[in-house]
Amino acid sequence: MENKEFKSGYIAIVGAPNAGKSTLLNQILGQKISITAPKPQTTRNRIAGILSRDDCQIIFVDTPGICKARDEFNRGLVETALSTLSESDVVLFMIEPNAERSENEFILENLRRISTPVILLINKVDTLGNKGLLLPLMQTWQKRFDFRSIIPISALKADGTEDILTEVVKLLPAGPRYYPEDYVTDQPERFFVAELIREKIFHLVSQEIPYSVAVVVEKFSEMPEKELIEIEAAINVERDSQKGIIIGKGGRTLKEIGKQARMEIETFLGCHIYLGLFVRVQKNWRKDPRALREFGYPINE
């Protein structure tokens, strides 16, 4: 019998904000571990999703969208994304078919500096009215960079995700199983609890407010006798005026955030929870190194 070597590796998913990176990670894993929203710059951390098969283990790494940073906080997010490039065995670079974004040229510049193989994913092809545009688009992109392959996909509809796996496995080096087979991610449960709350704020609170929000789980106690996990989380905002908006008239907005988050957290944890939410003003936390550290975000010193 042929003795096939076990393969493993780290696969970075990079692209401009809103390209659909987190949606793709969730589709590949068949489980929601990375939050998504129609607004750009939803993801703020490096989020690993582990796919274990008999012949290989693939660690997909979702990253914050790469863009021209407006402030120090954004610069930290972009740095987080760029730093995964050098630690990866394969890079998946995701673009949207409809818009040429200035960010993409900046991302290409960074990809030219590394020797890692890059696969281009043209996402959201379900939005393309005229499929005839796809071939010329692929030809244009092939001229811009020496991609190993170009795969049109729809992360939302799970179209093309099998093709991605086939291509990635071809490029995967021989390597060990880094994580036990039943691990889906390397982040603690608390992280996902905070992220799911943050996601509901992205969906329920308008304008720029979600960008001023950082969620921290302050209590996570398992109560086996009640078959319940008691969770308390702080929603940190930058200004007093934002606190009122998150709470809403008669507490309505906060209540809805709590209701929707609780349902998803229960699915994620597979048990009942009690969820207590409170809003706290942490003045200008995006510029405060101590607060950034506490909230788990990068600090540019």
Ligand X SMILES: Nc1nc2c(ncn2[C@@H]2O[C@H](COP(=O)(O)OP(=O)(O)OP(=O)(O)O)[C@@H](O)[C@H]2O)c(=O)[nH]1
State the residues that interact with ligand X by CB under 6 A. 15, 17-23, 36-38, 40-43, 64-65, 123-124, 126-127, 154-156
Size of the site for Mg ion (CB under 5 A): 4
Per the CB < 8 A criterion, the answer to whether 51 and 2 are in contact is: no
d(CA 12, CA 88): 6
Minimum distance of Mg ion from residue 62's CB (angstroms): 6
- Per CB under 5 A, the segment of 21-29, 91-99, 237-245, 264-272 that binds Mg ion is 21-29
Distance in Å, CB of 232 to ligand X, minimum: 26
Tell me how far, at minimum, the Cβ of 162 lies from ligand X, in Å: 15
Does 63 participate in binding Mg ion (rule CB under 5 A)? no
- C-beta closer to Mg ion: residue 22 or 149: 22
When CB distances to ligand X are compared, the closest residue is 65
Q: How far is the CB of 244 from ligand X (least distance, A)?
A: 26
Nearer to ligand X, 10 or 279 (CB): 10
**Site for Mg ion (CB under 5 A): which residue of 18, 26, 41, 43?**
43
Min. distance of Cβ 133 from ligand X in angstroms? 15
Taking residue 276's Cβ as centre, other Cβ atoms within 10 Å add up to: 13
Contact residues: Mg ion, CB under 5 A: 21-22, 42-43
